[in-house]
Each structure stands twice: as structure tokens, then as C-alpha cells.
């Protein structure tokens, strides 16, 4: 799957390299979209605080909620979107920048960068502590420590989101 998306990214990079100045921004937007497709296959973690909140609300395991689930919880109860954030532990923009910075990008190299994508469900107030998402985050683990966000699982044991409500296709 990383290779499939990497192939698309390689194609976009090729077109971007031949684009006129004005068009480069459009290619950057397309690249950002392609990079977001990786969300479906990247390891998903949960912060301890988010897990406790989900428990309290009887939402069950947050790893069964995809990004599309965030606004659509049943009526009458707090919407997960207000409480939880689908957070890119390593920022999508940082991944895109690494890909764009490759001097002679190959599908293999791009796939290797895309494979470093990590997602975590965290509380909105934890996300606030991470600060504005615009600045680069060279050391995601450190950024989480500094923001006092503890993750429930080791990344090695994390799997892609397992949402039964939204079939990916």
C-alpha cells in the first residue's frame, strides 16, 4: 500500500518539477492529499488520557474509530470530534517536505518516508498543548513528552485503524 501511494507521489513530483512557479502550489496540495491517504495504512496509537475518556463515555477502543468517525457519533452524547483529535505524530507537512526534498526521488525512497507516518487519537486539550501544527516537528516523541502526552501502546504493536463503520475503498 505504501508503494501504491508512493507511485502516485513520484508521478506528482515529476509533474511538479516541470511545473511553472504558479502551479507548484497546486502540486503541493495534491501531494498533501496523497500523503493523507497513508492515514489508512499507518499505525494508530491512543493517548492514555484519550483512552480513559473513551472508557468513561463507553466508546470502546478508539483504534476502531477512523478520521471519518469523528463527527458522526450517535445523537445526544458528546461528539468525539469535540473531544478527540486524529493527530499526526509525525506531521503530514514534515513528511511532504521530506519527500519534496529528495534530490532524485525513487518510489522506494518515497515509500520509506511515507512508512514513517504515525497517527494517534489524543484529547483536544492535549493537542492544544502540542501548540500550533504549523511548525516542524523533527522529534515527535520529544514533542509528545514536552506536551506531557503519554501513549498507551508501543508503536511496534500498533496497527492501522480498524474501522467497521467506514470501509476504505
Q: Which is nearer to Zn ion, 71 or 78 (CB)?
A: 71
User: Which CB sits closer to Zn ion, 67 or 107?
Assistant: 67
**Phi, psi values for residue 165, rounded to 5°:** -80, -35
> Does residue 168 interact with Zn ion by CB under 5 A?
no
Are the C-beta atoms of residues 121 and 44 closer than 8 Å to each other?
Answer: yes
| Least Å from the CB of residue 60 to Zn ion | 13
165 sits near Zn ion (criterion: CB under 5 A): yes
Beta-bridge mates of residue 47: 151
- Range 53-72, binding Zn ion (CB under 5 A): 66, 68-69
Rule CB under 5 A: say whether 163 interacts with Zn ion.
yes
Contact yes or no for 130/89 (Cβ under 8 A)? no
**107 forms part of the interface with Zn ion (CB under 5 A):** no
Beta strands in 48-135 (DSSP E): 84-88, 119-123
Q: Write the DSSP symbol of residue 138.
A: S
Sites of contact with Zn ion (CB under 5 A): 66, 68-69, 163, 165-166
Amino acid at each position: 500500500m505504501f508503494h501504491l501511494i508512493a507511485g502516485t507521489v513520484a508521478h506528482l513530483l515529476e509533474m511538479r518539477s516541470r511545473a511553472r512557479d504558479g502551479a507548484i502550489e497546486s502540486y503541493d496540495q495534491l501531494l498533501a492529499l496523497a500523503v493523507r491517504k497513508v492515514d489508512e495504512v499507518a499505525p494508530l496509537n491512543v493517548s492514555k488520557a484519550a483512552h480513559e475518556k473513551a472508557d468513561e463515555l463507553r466508546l470502546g477502543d478508539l483504534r476502531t474509530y477512523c478520521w471519518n468517525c469523528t463527527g458522526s457519533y450517535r445523537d445526544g452524547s458528546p461528539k468525539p470530534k469535540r473531544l478527540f483529535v486524529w493527530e499526526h505524530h509525525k506531521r503530514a507537512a514534515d513528511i511532504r517536505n521530506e519527500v519534496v526534498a529528495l534530490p532524485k526521488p525513487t518510489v522506494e525512497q518515497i515509500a520509506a518516508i511515507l512508512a514513517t507516518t504515525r497517527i494517534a487519537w489524543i484529547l483536544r486539550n492535549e493537542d492544544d498543548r502540542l501548540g500550533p501544527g504549523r511548525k516542524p516537528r523533527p522529534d515527535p516523541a520529544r514533542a509528545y513528552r514536552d506536551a506531557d502526552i503519554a501513549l498507551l501502546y508501543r508503536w511496534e504493536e500498533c496497527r492501522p485503524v480498524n474501522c467497521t463503520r467506514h470501509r476504505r475503498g
